[in-house]
Homo-oligomer: A and B are copies of this chain.
Amino acid sequence: MTDPLRTGATIGILGGGQLGRMLSVAASRLGFRTCIFEPGADCPAAHVADRHIAAPYEDEGALRIFAQACDVITYEFENIPTSALDILETLRPVYPGRQALRVSQDRLVEKAFLNDLGLKTAPFAAVDDGVDITEAMAEIGLPAILKTRRFGYDGKGQVRLKGPNDAEAALADMGGAPAIYEGFVDFTHEVSVIAARNAAGDVAAFDPGQNVHKDGILRTTTVPARLSPAQRSDAVLLAAQILNKLDYVGVMGVELFVTAEGLIVNEIAPRVHNSGHWTQNGCTVDQFEQHIRAVAGWPLGDGKRHSNVVMENLIGDDMDRVPDLARDGACALHLYGKAEVKPGRKMGHVNRVTGPA
């Protein structure tokens, strides 16, 4: 375990989107500088970072310059090329560590890991070809979802299967990539736990939030979530179990289905998470600062919630609502400074404070 980073140190962030942007702002609150590694020339995180290295993730020279400019390295997305990590890890500490990435980069490995921990997931099977999908359908049943094992996000790389006739098209949609067949889970709603662990092994979790998705993209997160006290405690404990098993350092998002038979883990994300954005206006220390604290070797904030919040993503044309939202005294706007509005593009979010906790 290394010493806590001193004020003035530089935190490297792989990825320059809105998560990197808000991580950079949180780092500044603790007196840190940030250096963003992101191929895109103009990216949301670069606007609020001390330095931006714009190079492909395959550029070994740029990766070395980046590592040497930083005291510690973290990331805003889990699909970092392994080759980049191979270089960076030899030069600087990278948090969260390799094991968390290995598990979360592959849906099949992730589900197996969770089951090994004794945690429930949807029934699943590996699918590489037509034989596999037929077997999976027979064993697990329908409806189901076929997903690429790797590189999926916001509903991309996913196809629903309603009947046997959907198999061929779904498989074609995977484009030859290894896939996972996931059985139907009869859940009433979805919640997520944003939890953090630091190098000292301390764990702190924020209150679970209740998520609503549309077209595979998160629309709203509401705290408090509709959960019994027992469910609430189960949710936090299982998140802690995952973090501890991975010897995790940083913030993780754990998505859970609430079912009559208990909580089922949907997926884990080894990073700050869209469903944790409410913490910016609900807690004294938000998920972004919590992550920075963890990777900087600092004590964690306690995660206590002072306010009830409904977080809503502003996607594409939702930006037209900004003038009205700005007039609403209960609303805190968080816009990402993206130049171009595109359908389905996350442009910002709004935290509506609905009352004291």
Name A residues whose Cβ lies closer than 8 Å to a Cβ of B.
Answer: 4, 7-8, 21, 24-25, 28-34, 46-50, 281, 284-285, 293, 298-299, 301-302, 304, 306-307, 319, 322-323, 326-327, 329-339, 347-348, 351, 353, 356
* Contact (A285, B332) CB under 8 Å given A293-B326, A298-B326, A326-B298: yes
A24 neighbours in B (Cβ, 8 Å) = 48
Partner of A31 from B31, B332, B335 at Cβ < 8 Å: B335
> How many copies of this kind of chain does the complex include?
2
A299 neighbours in B (Cβ, 8 Å) = 323, 326-327
A293 neighbours in B (Cβ, 8 Å) = 326
The listed residue with most B CB atoms (<10 A of its CB), out of A31, A323, A348, A353, is A31
Partner of A353 from B298, B306, B323, B337 at Cβ < 8 Å: B306
A32 neighbours in B (Cβ, 8 Å) = 337
Contact present for B356 and A329 (CB under 8 Å) = no
Interface pairs A-B: 8 shortest CB-CB: A31-B335, A302-B329, A299-B327, A31-B337, A47-B50, A28-B48, A48-B48, A284-B332
Main DSSP-derived SS at the A contact region: mixed
Contact present for B30 and A48 (CB under 8 Å) = no
The listed residue with most B CB atoms (<10 A of its CB), out of A47, A302, A338, is A47
Partner of A301 from B50, B301, B329, B337 at Cβ < 8 Å: B329
CA distance A28 to B18 in the complex (A): 11
Partner of A337 from B7, B48, B49, B319 at Cβ < 8 Å: B7
28 contacts between A and B (CB under 8 A): A7-B322, A7-B335, A7-B337, A7-B348, A8-B337, A21-B28, A25-B25, A25-B29, A28-B47, A29-B332, A29-B333, A30-B333, A31-B336, A31-B337, A33-B47, A33-B337, A48-B49, A281-B284, A284-B330, A284-B331, A284-B332, A293-B326, A299-B326, A301-B329, A306-B306, A306-B307, A306-B353, A306-B356
